[in-house]
């Protein structure tokens, strides 16, 4: 079974308590329709599991298939420099059909980012490198498409429709 490499660490964007018994990692592509479909499901999974779950998002843009995916990932990472990664992640998925540069700046404005700083930061190598490092970690971890999920470090190949996914995660709680 494929193992998450490297494990979740301080460079990751994490929602939830570090001590939560369940750790769900998604490798996602902002322009991938399946990831767009997964977005509200993950929100409900988080609501349902509450303090038992922490959620991590890593970038896996298929740039040739999805021409705006890489830029969208960079924009979310750039928002992260102003501690608004998740706000940007959410607004991008909620507006998945428009991910051109102009739209990305519009989203940056509407979540209240300092736009001058955003414009400057988005040019930095560090944000593109973060996306590339995420992608490569996904390849090494056996990601074969998006979204790919890892639960407590192990690749989850099962169904991720809401009810089944929540049920599975809850069943893992009793195993732990």
Partner 1 sequence: MLAAGTLAPDFELNCTPDQKLKLSELQGKKVILAFYPADWSPVCSDELALYNETMKIFSRHNAQLVGISVDSKWCHLAFSHDRKFHFPLLADFEPKGAISKLYEVYDEKEGESQRALYVLDEKGIIRWNYLSPMGVNPGADGILNALEDLDKSK
Question: Six-digit token pair at 116?
Answer: 């001058």
Residue 140 CB, shortest distance to partner 1, in Å, is 6
Is 143 a binding residue for partner 1 by CB under 8 A? The answer is: yes
Stated length of the chain: 176
The residue within the footprint of partner 1, chosen from 136, 159, 161, 163 (CB under 8 A), is 136
Is 139 a binding residue for partner 1 by CB under 8 A? The answer is: yes
Is 97 a binding residue for partner 1 by CB under 8 A? The answer is: no
Contact call for residues 31 and 37 (beta carbons, < 8 A): no
Residue 142 CB, shortest distance to partner 1, in Å, is 4
Residue 156 CB, shortest distance to partner 1, in Å, is 14
Contact call for residues 60 and 146 (beta carbons, < 8 A): yes
Identify which of residues 98 and 139 has a Cβ nearer to partner 1 in the complex.
139
Is 33 a binding residue for partner 1 by CB under 8 A? The answer is: no
d(CA 138, CA 126) in angstroms, rounded, equals 18
Q: Binding-site residue total for partner 1 (CB under 8 A)? A: 14
Identify which of residues 34 and 109 has a Cβ nearer to partner 1 in the complex.
34
Q: Which DSSP string do the residues of 89-139 spell out, in sequence order?
A: HHHHHHTTT--SHHHHHHHHHHTT--HHHHHHHTT-HHHHHHHHHHHHHHH
How many C-alpha atoms does 14 have within 13 Å on its Cβ side? 16
The residue within the footprint of partner 1, chosen from 65, 98, 106, 115 (CB under 8 A), is 65
CA-closest candidate to residue 71, choices 111, 102, 95, 100: 100
Is 141 a binding residue for partner 1 by CB under 8 A? The answer is: yes
**CA 157 remoteness from chain centre:** 17
Is 7 a binding residue for partner 1 by CB under 8 A? The answer is: no
Is 140 a binding residue for partner 1 by CB under 8 A? The answer is: yes
Query: CA-CA distances (angstroms) from residue 119 to 55, 142, 153, 162?
Result: 28, 34, 35, 37
Is 125 a binding residue for partner 1 by CB under 8 A? The answer is: no
Provide the binding-site residues for partner 1, judged by CB under 8 A: 2, 62-65, 135-136, 139-145
């Amino acid at each position: 079974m494929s193992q998450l490499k490297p494990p979740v660490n301080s460079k990751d964007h994490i929602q939830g308590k570090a001590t939560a018994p369940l750790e769900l990692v998604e490798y996602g592509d902002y322009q991938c329709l399946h990831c767009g479909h997964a977005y509200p499901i993950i929100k409900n999974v988080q609501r349902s599991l509450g303090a038992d779950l922490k959620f991590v998002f890593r970038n896996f843009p298929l740039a040739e298939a999805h021409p705006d995916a890489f830029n969208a990932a960079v924009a979310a990472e750039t928002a992260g420099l102003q501690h608004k990664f998740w706000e940007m992640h959410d607004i991008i998925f909620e507006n998945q059909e428009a991910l051109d540069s102009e739209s990305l700046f519009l989203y940056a404005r509407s979540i209240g980012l300092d736009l001058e700083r955003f414009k400057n930061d988005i040019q930095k190598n560090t944000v593109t490198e973060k996306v590339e490092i995420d992608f490569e970690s996904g390849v090494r971890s056996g990601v074969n498409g998006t979204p790919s999920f890892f639960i407590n470090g192990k690749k989850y190949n099962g169904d991720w429709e809401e009810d089944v996914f929540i049920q599975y995660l809850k069943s893992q709680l009793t195993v732990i």
